[in-house]
Structure formats: structure tokens, C-alpha cells
Amino acid sequence: MHDLELLNKEQQEAVLHTEGPLLILAGAGSGKTRVLTYRIAHLIEECEVYPWNILAITFTNKAAGEMRERVDRIVGQGAESIWVSTFHSTCVRILHRHIDRLGYDQKFTIYDTEDQKTVLKDVCRRLQIDTKLYKERTLLNVISHAKNEYISPVEYQSSVRGDFRQEKMAEVYLEYQKELKKNNALDFDDLLVKTVELFESCPDVLERYQDRFRYIMVDEYQDTNTVQFKLVSILAGKYQNLCVVGDDDQSIYRFRGANIENILNFEKVFPNTRVIKLEQNYRSTQNILDAANGVIQNNISRKEKALWTDNERGEPVVFKLLQSAYEEAEYVTGDIRKKLNSGAAYRDFAVLYRTNYQSRTFEEKFLMANIPYKIVGGVNFYSRKEIKDILAYLKTIDNGKDDLAIHRIINVPKRGIGAVTINKVQAFAESREISFFEALESVGEIPGIGKALLKIQPFVNLIHEWRLRLGELTLEKLINEILERTGYAGDLEAEGTDEAQARLDNIGELISKAVTYEKEAEHPVLGEFLEEVALVADIDSVADSDDRVLLMTLHSAKGLEFPYVYLAGMEDGIFPSYMSIAADDPLEEIEEERRLCYVGITRAMKELTMTAARIRMIRGENHYNNVSRFVREVPKELLGNRTYVPDAPKAQEPPRSSAYARAKEAFRTKTFDPKQFKVVKADRLDYGVGDRVSHIKFGEGTVLDVTEGGRDYEVKVEFDRAGVKKMFASFAKLKKIESL
């Protein structure tokens, strides 16, 4: 029997409350994973619930792995019957059994971001969509947002009628989904959408899983989006035994579609909810927690709670204002070196920042100081060309309907199969309404294919052979055969460069991954291996054994903890970002940024240091920003060693900001001094949303939005070269480009 005496009073209450909806508000470092695992053990041992009636869902593979390990340890026999997995993995398992009810083959492929982009490019080409006007990234975001909100292509089309730009996007969304269906493929968002569709359209399947999962637990509930909320609500609809664990103060993924209302309004959706707060922290010192409490209490949209600990009060929070970003990095490097000399290890340190570009100065200083480091969230291992090539071969062997994978490898390594031949095969496939690979199998029937037949046939035969031998080949052997028989490895070896060797090393790492999978899987199969690879997240690559300083964005740091944490770039305009401060609804945006700051602060166990720079160069220009409001929200009595660099001489300071920023100040300010800055608002603009305009500096672009303010029009433009910019009409002097 597990010992409940090891839990505090609130944790025990959460474990013992087993029937009906339960909301556990778990503050940072409050032992929520322990509560979940003890609760599972209690259900099995004391309530005699069958292990297979329990479903535990979390967000990352890393978190799911940790929970699985703890469940296995504490539950023992029968633990393997409990589903402990991510949302996406759970949906993959369900869809593999029943997706044929939605008209898909059960051997579907999961597309990653690069695959999505390739499909989208092809869709835009066919629809004659100008990707200068409609950026691929924008289109993918629109599609993803619609899916997160559980809005189908048809529903999206209906909702945007009358808006020319959005109608075009809806057309792309519709064709994109058709292309995925034709390829028997799903993107990540589809995994959830199709599972909800399955449950809504097949009551018998839904009832089967409702009866299977009578007790459902969801971790990190504050990060759920609308479709995830629908999935959980439908599954828990019959028995109502839904336990969700989360912290509204750590809801930081709004940009990915997370809906904080899911946790704030949980009691409204499930009226008989029991709410239990876990406020005792086991991670940090009280000074660090007081700093976190002091910052987060400035948010309005939150449930009241305050972290406390039995740990020592600890060192004061350190704030350092340096002259430049280089001095900031130099200070952090020197401080890490001092602590290393006092017995700390490299892995004890993390430098957290708001955006990726801030890592560069730290990288340079760490290299000079010979401090090993690792950047979390850089180029994903599985996004590298050589890895995607080998995975495309494996996908083709596993699922011949995945046109994208076959297009990628049909001439890799080069087989003399050119674009003309590929286009002929594609046209034949479309005319017969068959997959690209099926067209390759019938290549002899394609008019004018000529000598290309002799190049295509060996490729098709090779794929057929590997398919027939899947039962006898290990994944390691299969990958090695692909490398050898296609000449892929030979080409890289012949190249003889360091880069080619690095690619071979990367492929070697993929083979290691395959070997590990086969050792750990009960019944290893190629399709399952490809799913596991597709579901890997950036943070899963952080090995606990790595003895390096970690550099990462605040978003990547979620769920981690370190003895020593540095929050860098604590300046208004950096953190919170310019976009948040200047947003249409700045309150909501800044509250999200404040939650991100709270997450950063609560990563620290022993010591927290905040740093800022007086001057920071961004895109080649010096910016002079105020110290972040989040630093000013930390209670003054908690801040120690507040070392300030003397003020720079006034004569050396350039104007505080650009003309646009000064105008923005005028736009927002209630009392306006005309002597300070004169804004002349036009009676009307000769351009509107959707029009093409030109700017003297940024060139040509498309107007996305026009907002009329009291003293000027604020215009949002997506420029072809410079990206999205917000500006005031009086200063932008945009000129409409008349269409021919």
C-alpha cells in the first residue's frame, strides 16, 4: 500500500476524492505528478478500479515518460494496462483502430511542419494563390487555429463570406484537407480533430471508450485548446470522473491555441466540481516564491492562490542593470564561473530569455569562457535533410499512399528521374484518381514515359521487396539496406567533407533511435516507430545526464527546474514584448507575458538573477528601453545587490525611439501636448484592407488592418520583404498601388 502520510493535507484530499469532477489547482513545484500517481494507485488498490479503466493524459513525451515511470513503480502489477500518454499519442492509438470509419486507411501518415509546407505550396500553385500576398506561414497558422477551435473547412468558409482575403484562405484550407485525405495523411492538429469527429459520428465507438476510460486524468490542463477540451469532455461525459490538474498562472501557450478559459470556467462546465489548491512548493526558496507571488498578483484573470514553502528563505533576488547586451552576457558568464568554482555543475544553470535571437551573445561569451552549453529549441533533429530523406523511405515502405514522401525520394539519390517525368506520372495519377506510387507501379501505361521506365521500375521493385521483407528485417537492418542499396551512404562518403560526415553521424543517431525503440517496444513495427518519431518534442531531447548550461526561451523552460536561473533581457519592449505592449488588447497580452515571467521565476530553486541592458541592438539599431515592469513588480525588500551602471551621458543618447513609437505614445496618451509632436489625421485614407501599397523604406506590401484612433489611423501592413509592420498613416505615407 502506498503511504499517504508522505503527502501534505491538500495532496491527500486530491488523492482520496475519486468520484465526480475534480479541479486541482497545482502551483509551480507543488508535487502534482506525485498526486496523480498516488491517485492512480489509490483507485486501483483501495477502490478496486481495473487498471485498463484509467487514462492519464499529459502534453509532452517527456512528461508522459516520467509519469509512466512513476506509475509503474508505485502501482506495480497491472500498471501496463493504464494508458499514460500525450493527447496526440492517445488519439493516434484510437484512430489506428477506427479511422476507417471516417474513410481513411488505418496505415495513415503523420505530417510534420515541413510536410505541411510542401502540401501547401502545391495547393497554392494549383489554386494560383500568390504566396507573396498570402504567406505560407500565415496560411498554416490560419488552418491550425481553425482546427484548434474545431472549425471545419466548410464552417470556416461560411464564417468569412464577404471578406475576400479570408475567403481565399478558406479555399486553401479546403484544398489542403482534400490533399491530406488523398495522401492518407493527417497533420498534428488532425489527430485531435479526427478523434473528436470519430466520437461525434460513431456513438458506438464513443461508448466503447467511455466505458474503457471511466477515470480520466489530464495534466497541464491550462494548456488545453478548444478541441482538446471537446475530446476530454466527450470522453468523460458518461461517468463524469474527470480530474484535471493545472495552474492558470502558468498558461503561456495562447499563441498555440491554448484557451485559459478552459481552466477558469471548469466549474461552470462541470457544476459539481470539487476544487483543491496545492500551494505548498517543494522546489524554491521563499524569497523566490514571494517574488513570483508579487509579480503574478497583478493579473486580473486568475484564481487566487499564493505559493509558500517550508524551505529556507534563501538568497535575495538579484537584479543587474548592465550597459549593453554584451555586458549582460559577460556578467552572467562571470557569475556562472564563480559558482562553478564553488562546486556547482554546468547542468545547474539555465539562462532564459523571451526570444531565440537573444542567445547569440551568450553563446559567444560561453565559447570564449570555455563553458559547455546547449540550446533547447534549435533545429530539431528530425527536421534535418538527411533524416527526413531516410524517414521518407521508411514512410514509403510503410504507406504507399503518402505522395509527399515518395516525391521527396523518387530522385534521391539521383536516378535520372527529372521533373518532366515526375509531372507526367503526377498527371497520370490525377487522371486515374490514384496515388503517385500506384501510378509508378503502372508506369508502363503512361504515354510518352520512354526510357524513364528503366529508371523508375528498379525503384518500385526495391520498395516492394522491402515491404515483403518487413517481417524479417529489423529497423536497423532496413535503414542500413536503404543507405547501401540506394547509394545514399556512398554518395556522402564520396563527398568526403566534414558536413557529409556530420550527416552520416546524424543518420547513425537515427539508427540508434531505431535500435532503442526495438529494444523497448513489446511488438516493434515500422508504423509505430514512425509515429513515435513524429510525436517527439524539442524538450524531449534534453537529457538529464547532459552536463551543460542550458540556453532556452521561457516557453521551452516550462516544466523544468534549475538551482540557478538567469532571466535575461528584462526590459519593456523585450519582456514584455513590443507586440504585447502595442496590441489591440494590451491587458490580455501583458497578462500572458506576466504568466510567462512567473514561469521563469519559478524555475529557480536556489538563486534567481534578473538582468537588463540599457542599450540593446535589435536588427542593427540601438534601442533604449525602460527596465521591465515585471522587475518593478517584484517587492523591493526581496531585491538584493541592485547594482546599476552609471547613467550614460545625456549628450550620447540618441532620440528615445522612432517617429512611429513617439506617435504611438501620442496615439495612446489621453493628454496630448501639440508642441511635443504634431499628428495630422487625414479625413480619409485612399487605401483599405486588402489593397497593395508601397512604403519608402519597406517597399511593397498588403494592408491587413486599419484601425481609426482619436488622432490618427493605425495601419497594419504585411510587406513582401520586411514582414508585418504596424504604423501610423500620417507618418507611413503609404501609397496605393493601382492594379493593372
659 CB neighbour count, 10 Å cutoff: 14
Instruction: Give CA–CA dist 510/482, Å, rounded.
Output: 13
Residue 167 C-alpha cell reads as 475567403
Asked if 33 is an active-site residue, the reply is: yes
Would you state the pLDDT for residue 2?
A: 63
For residue 615, what is the enclosing H or E element?
strand 604-618
Q: What is the pLDDT of residue 661?
A: 47
Question: Which SS3 state, helix, strand or coil, does residue 35 take?
Answer: helix
Buried b (16+ CB within 10 A) or exposed e, 543-558: eeeeebbbbbbbbbbb
CB 263 within 8 A of CB 251: yes
Cα–Cα nearest to 732, from 685, 690, 674, 669: 685
- As averages over each run of 10 residues, the pLDDT of the chain (740 residues) reads 82 96 96 91 91 91 83 80 92 95 93 91 92 84 93 93 90 96 95 97 97 96 95 95 96 89 93 95 97 96 95 95 93 97 96 88 89 78 85 91 90 89 91 91 88 90 93 92 93 77 84 85 87 67 74 91 97 90 85 97 97 83 88 91 41 39 42 39 81 80 80 79 75 76
Q: Does the annotation mark 190 as catalytic? A: no
User: Can you give the pLDDT at residue 648?
Assistant: 37
Instruction: Please report the sign of the dihedral spanned by the C-alpha atoms of residue 47, residue 60, residue 115, residue 490.
Output: negative
Cβ atoms of residues 228 and 258 within 8 Å = no
Q: Which among 86, 116, 226, 250 is annotated as catalytic?
A: 250
- Catalytically annotated residue among 603, 606, 629, 692: 603
Which of 10, 11, 32, 614 is catalytic? The answer is 32
- Among candidate residues 318, 311, 352, the one with its CA nearest the CA of residue 638: 318
Among the listed residues 10, 11, 33, 513, the single catalytic one is 33
Is position 219 annotated as part of the catalytic site?
yes
- Between 61-75 and 32-45, two packed helices, what is the crossing angle to 10 degrees? 40
Q: What is the secondary structure of 388-444 as a DSSP string?
A: HHHHHHHHHHH-TT-HHHHHHHTTSS--S--HHHHHHHHHHHHHHT--HHHHHHTGG
Nearest residue to 355 (alpha-carbon basis) of 550, 542, 569, 539: 569
**Whether 208 is catalytic:** no
Tell me how far apart the alpha carbons of residues 737 and 721 are, in angstroms, rounded to a whole number.
Answer: 16
Give me the catalytic one of 175, 190, 220, 718.
220
Q: Is 616 a catalytic site residue?
A: no
> Which DSSP string corresponds to 206-253?
HHHHHHH-SEEEESSGGG--HHHHHHHHHHTTTT--EEEEE-GGG---
Give yes or no: 107 in active site. no
In SS3 terms, 706-732 reads as EEECCCCEEEEEEECCCEEEEEEHHHH
